[in-house]
Amino acid sequence: IVLTQSPGTLSLSPGEGATLSCRASQSVNTYLAWYQQKPGQAPRLLIYEASNRATGIPVRFSGSGSGTDFTLTISSLEPEDSAVYYCQQRRDWPITFGQGTRLEIK
């Protein structure tokens, strides 16, 4: 299953909202996760099963979608949100990741 993320890069200011998209080549139901990765760090799980926030994740991160179209929304951006964001499906083997969206905070 191919996951296509858009946009490739997003440049926004603190306080603004961000909308990141992930489209699957076939239905993954809600077996979709979102990760945040900062330089030199391992990815951090933000959202699992499309809309469930992982433990300790701030409420300004939210996920939605099912089937083939998914969205990660970050409300009221903070400087530390600057990172690359990946989606990942576990509906079918092999597990696949999207190519990532780079979020820059101006």
Partner 1 sequence: QLQLQESGPGLVKPWETLSLTCTVSGDSISSGSYYWGWIRQPRGKGLEWIGSITSGGDTYNNPSLKSRVTMSVATSKNQLSLKLSSVTAADTAVYYCARASPGHCGGGSCYGYWGQGTLVTVSS
Site map for partner 1, 16-45, x if CB under 8 A? -----------------x-x-x----xxxx
For partner 1, the closer of residues 23 and 90 by Cβ is 90
Q: Which residue has the tokens 């701030």?
A: 58
CA–CA gap between residue 32 and residue 14 (Å, rounded): 27
Task: Give the range of 21-29, 58-66, 74-82, 90-98 binding partner 1 by CB under 8 A.
Answer: 90-98
97 binds partner 1 (CB under 8 A): yes
Structure tokens at 1: 């299953």
User: Taking CB under 8 A as the criterion, which residues in 45-74 touch partner 1?
Assistant: 45, 48-49, 52, 54-55
DSSP element (H, E) containing 102:
strand 101-105
| 79 phi, psi to nearest 5 deg | -55, -35
